[in-house]
Amino acid sequence: MNRQFVLQSLVFLLVIGTTTTLCGPPFFTDDPEPVDFHHWEFYLASVQQHLREAANATLPHVEVNYGAFSNVQLHIVAPLEYVRTGSDRHYGYSDTELGVKYRFVDETSSLPQIGIFPLVEVPTGSKASGLGSGTVQLYLPLWFQKSWGDLTTYGGGGYWINPGSDAKNWVFLGWLAQYDFSEVLSLGGEFYYHSADTPDAIDGADFSLGGFINLNEHNHILFSLGHSVTGEATTTVYFGYQVTV
């Protein structure tokens, strides 16, 4: 069998496995805090992952969050995605993400707020083109958050149910600290671990730095830049525009 074909096939599987929508823009680590009751968040953004032999990016994706009830947020991500594996390139609609965030413990002076945020990845993209997984995926996380003045820290993790002969279930764990330097600028950093999500992939740990620029009460710019610490050498980029109403 052609050696280059084998290499590109392995990279193709890796790209499918690492095509992951960011949970807590502009970071991978999420928090338990839902959108306020009857309020909305709209994002127009791009998340990119660059590997040595491949790359994938949402160009762009649209994310919408709505506070449907007190302590309950509805969530959807609709992505257009670009995938490069070797000399092959594909662009089109990828898998749709649906979720519900529920905070069941409010923060107090001594306790963190705690919530769950199950996600379903609906296979609306083409697996043959590398634009989707081809199966329904389910993520079951638990998140914690505590604040002290302008400093906020949050994190947790969960289990991805990732069926398929070329896939395997995997774990994500992450933690983040963020500081509000002013009403305009907030900066933070995260460190996260993810186990292998395909038989040919390896476990990895990554970090990223990023933040928010609040143009006004309703308009915000989000950004982050990260790189792998262990595992496959990967650079991640997030840039987005958020409207809150």
Structural domains of the chain in order of their starting residue, each with its CATH number: 3-244 (2.40.128.130)
| 88 pLDDT higher than 60 | yes
Query: Cα torsion at 24, 18, 158, 176 (round to 10°)?
Result: -40
Please report which confidence band the pLDDT of residue 87 belongs to, taking 50, 70 and 90 as the band edges.
confident
Dist CA 15 CA 20 (whole Å): 10
Mean pLDDT over each residue of the chain, to the nearest integer? 91
How far is it, in rounded angstroms, from Cα 203 to Cα 223? 25
Average pLDDT over residues 197-204: 91
Place of tokens 């306790």: 111
- Mean pLDDT, residues 233-242: 97
Pick from 4-8, 73-77, 86-90: least confident: 4-8
Mean local confidence (pLDDT), 211-240: 97
83 strand-pairing partners: 56, 90
* Mean pLDDT confidence for 217-225: 98
Q: What is the pLDDT of residue 22?
A: 59
pLDDT recorded at residue 8:
42
| pLDDT of 42 | 98
pLDDT of amino acid 157: 97
In the block, residue with structure tokens 């074909």: 5
154 in Cβ contact with 32 (< 8 Å) = yes
Per-residue pLDDT tens for 176-196? 999 999 999 999 999 999 999
Residues 28-53: what's their mean pLDDT?
Answer: 96
